[in-house]
Amino acid sequence: MRVVLAALAIAGLQPTLWNPVRAEAPQSQTDSRFLSIAQSACGAPSPTSPPARPSASPATVAQVQSSPSPAPPSGEPSPAPSPSVAPSAVPDQNAPPLPPPFPTPSPLGIPPALPGPGQIVPPTPFQPPAASPPALPTATPSGPPPPVFLVRPSSTPFIPPVRSSATPLPSPSAAGPTALPTLGPDQIATISDRISGSTENGKPSDLDGNVHIYYIDGQIVGDHAHYDGQHTMTITGHTYLINRYQDSILYADSIQFDTDTHKATLVRGRGETTEGVQVGKLHYTAQQLVTASSGVSHGDRASFTTCENPHGGYHVESRTLDLYPGDKIVARKAVVFLGPLAIFYLPLLVIPLRDVQNPQRNTSFLPIIGYSQLQGFYIKLRIGFAPSNTYYGYYRVEYYTKEGLGLGYTAYIGSKNNRRTLTVDSYTIDDRIQDARETNLTMTETENFSSRLRSQVNLNYTGDYGAGITIPASLNLNASIIHQGNFSTENLTFSRFEQGSLSDNLTFGYLDTLQFSQYLQQQINLSYSKYNSDEGGTDTFHINTVTHWFTKLADLNVTYDQTDYSAEPFGYNTVPELQILPHINFGDYRFPFQTQFTIGQYTEPENHFTTGRAEFDFDQPIFLKVLNTSDFNASFDLKQDWYATGDEKAFIMQNASLSTPIGNHIVNAITYNEQNPIGPSDVPFQILDHLSSGSHGAADVLRLFNSDIYSLSLSDGTNFNEEAQPVQYQLSMRPSTRSVLVIGGFWSPGPGNGFGITNVQAYTPFGRDTTLEFTTNVDWKNKGRLEDKNIDLIKTIGNCYSLNLSYNQDLKEFTFNINLLAFPNQGIGTGFGGPTSSPASILPQNFAY
């Protein structure tokens, strides 16, 4: 809208009507209704006040300057005057033009016609203003305003460059610039080379020559437009429609535009958009395409593709097509074509036009075809649906020639006020291999009763553990209710796990967190569990309390942990325990250490033993720079225990590392670790403070690298047990910008040892627009045989989609799928890490150390 109005201001269009007497020079035509809109937008001055000086902003001038309107062809006859307007006197031709008066708006909002067709009224002699009653407010018209018809001038005026030194901008006045008239959300403006018929409201008219129709959501362009005088415009001749963001364009043989609803109907419409498309454009066609003011397009007998050559790539034909810009595409009764070949049919197809992280959102509509030695030939398909943003998901259809037909349903269901959400993921298959129906189901329901009270229920049932795996079905149910108070939080929990006759576990829990102050906090945890199995059962009641007290000198934690067993007790009880973590001000000391002191009473019910224990924990880290090049890191950890029985024991752990760079391409790292237990391992307690055996070892890692061109790592070590350790190696290199090679394994010294298993990963071009990923293990003990082979061949077609063919030797499985490059998250890529939402790479992207 701003473009049109700025063009009028720059072109010098005056608000005058066409004058048949002065027809020797072509003049601009303007509808009188435009004056009413301009006056209502800018404010019409009263007859006693001088008219305001118009002013154009530089931004508006630059916008018009980028696309000036062409002049109409010469020699065109001027339209005949309207018979409803009578001629009147003609002003002096040599007199300078005078500013037109501002007509008084009528109560209906439509300004009255000026006296005479285009007559300029001479100014009246100046008289002192007489007192007059205040003007009555203008009545607001009902319904959208009629369109404004504008005609381009015969010649394009000179438009100076923005902020040009040759034509300086006028100096700003003290009152500031005068606002330009703008079109409101429901107003429409048209501009063309010629107008025939009437420009009055309720009467038909025709526009010819470079017709532009501007409205809030975009613009429509064509060679000819017919307005029926009510609310319909029919545009023909090289017609197209551009949205306001200029990232979508629609072409058609003809366009019908409703000026009331801003709905455009395109006959044999075809469009292009880049909104929500990652690669290239989305091309779509329809026998009849309707676009609403919200930007949503609906087409009948439609098709779409992201390939520039749809017959050489892929395209989808559907009975109906709904395009939600930046959100999704919904096609009903869709047939997917690969070239001229129809490959499959979908009753409903939903494609997201934005990145999808929600697992319930469908990310692929193309099938996966493959073969497995155990399951036979198979086809896997996901059919998405999304009636609204609170209900969406996909149907899962899988068929295996040996195993049978599997069906699944995955959905997200939420309330409009976001107080309740439900996610469902289910799958069932009539397994001919197991001769049984196997089902998997996962449900999660969340309820927000208020801002302080909420609940969550999780249900998981697993009956299908994979082809050829027979395990009893399991049921796991969890529920919780949480109440958030001002000074406390209560959490009630319930869980039930059952797996055939192997296990049956029932648990109730209660957790209360009390915040007495910012320095004192109390946590109480109560739980009851009942366990049954073929080998027996037990009932257990557990209580755990933790009191935390923060002071300036130390953090204090008091813990009480007691378990009551009906049979076969295990573990130990804390009755009670005090833990002290002092706050030490080290000042300028370079190596701050950490200390902790614990004292308490402990019981082992299984051994019927109880005694007191005190423990001191000291941890000292050290960081040094050696010779300004090497980094030295070390840590020393000491745990000393005293018992009421008179026993003592300790545990010392030491770690050190020295990393030294040699030049710009070599780094050597030496590490050393040592563990020293002091005292008996299982005295006085057999479970608490059990000491492991002592050990110490060292390792050296040498890395040679050059950016991301190559990286070689060699590592060796010793456990100081007079036994040689294997040497590990890994080489990562990039022979070219499109190829990668990774080799890793180990070599063991000694007779009969040598090289063990070597893993090889490669990524390399394999022809034009084709890449090959290959992984395998080389068994040097079996004459260098290649085992565990995985091959992935990727062929890109026209920068539109890729064909993925993979082979897994372990599963004896072939897989074929199509990955669309344009849509986000499209295609289930194979990769060597298993099926993922996008193709997964097995290769590192950076080799630099």
Of 60, 43, 53, 57, nearest to 4 (Cα)?
A: 60
Cβ 332 vs Cβ 350: under 8 Å: no
Residue 208 makes CB contacts below 8 A (sequence gap 6+) with 192, 193, 194, 195, 196, 223, 224
CA 16, CA 35: separation in Å to the nearest integer? 10
Distance of CA 711 to the CA centre of its chain: 35
Q: How crowded is the C-beta side of 238, counted as CA atoms within 13 Å?
A: 8
Tokens representing residue 550 in the block? 């923060």
Helix (H, G, I), strand (E, B) or coil at 64: helix
3-state DSSP helix/strand/coil % of the chain, to nearest 5 = 5, 50, 45
User: pLDDT at position 363, please?
Assistant: 56
Output DSSP code: residue 67: S
Residues 505, 508, 509: CA angle, nearest 5 degrees: 130
Buried b (16+ CB within 10 A) or exposed e, 666-698: ebbbbbeeebebeeeeeebbeebbebeeeeeeb
pLDDT at 501 (0 to 100): 80
Which residue, among 656, 672, 660, 657, has the nearest Cα to 630 in the 3D structure?
Answer: 660
pLDDT of residue 843: 36
Between CA 607 and CA 565 the distance in angstroms is 13
Torsion of CA 117, 122, 123, 125, to 10 degrees: -140
Neighbours of 234 (CB within 10 A): 18
pLDDT score recorded for residue 840: 36
Per-block mean pLDDT, blocks of 10 residues, the chain (849 long): 39 36 37 40 38 33 32 37 36 42 37 35 38 43 66 51 41 47 71 86 88 87 91 91 80 89 88 73 86 81 83 83 81 85 81 65 74 90 82 90 93 90 94 90 95 95 86 94 94 94 92 94 96 85 96 95 88 95 89 95 93 96 91 96 95 96 94 94 91 92 92 94 90 91 92 89 89 93 90 85 87 84 51 34 36
The position carrying tokens 């070590």 is 717
Q: Are 643 and 682 a contacting pair, CB within 8 Å?
A: no
Q: What does pTM read for this prediction? A: 0.64
Closest CA to 6 of 51, 70, 57, 81: 57
Mapped onto helix, strand or coil, the DSSP state of residue 664 is coil
**Residue among 399, 411, 293, 289 nearest 350 (CA):** 411
Spatial neighbors of 267 by CB under 8 A, at least 6 apart, are 252, 253, 254, 255, 256, 287, 288
84 phi, psi to nearest 5 deg: -80, -5
Cβ-proximal residues to 189 (8 Å cutoff; 6+ apart), any chain = 1, 4, 5, 34, 147, 148, 150, 183, 213, 214, 215
Q: Give me the pLDDT at residue 156, please.
A: 44
Residue 672: helix, strand or coil by DSSP? strand
Confidence at residue 361, expressed as pLDDT on a 0 to 100 scale: 65
Q: What are 515's two structure tokens?
A: 């915040």
Q: From CA 208, how far away is CA 227, in angstroms rounded? A: 12
383 in helix, strand or coil? Answer: strand
- 3-class SS of residue 11: helix
Reading the block at residue 415, the tokens are 């309330």
Q: What is the pLDDT of residue 410?
A: 92
CB atoms within 10 A of CB 60: 17
- Under 8 Å between Cβ of 479 and 456: yes
For 296, the token pair is: 């949503």
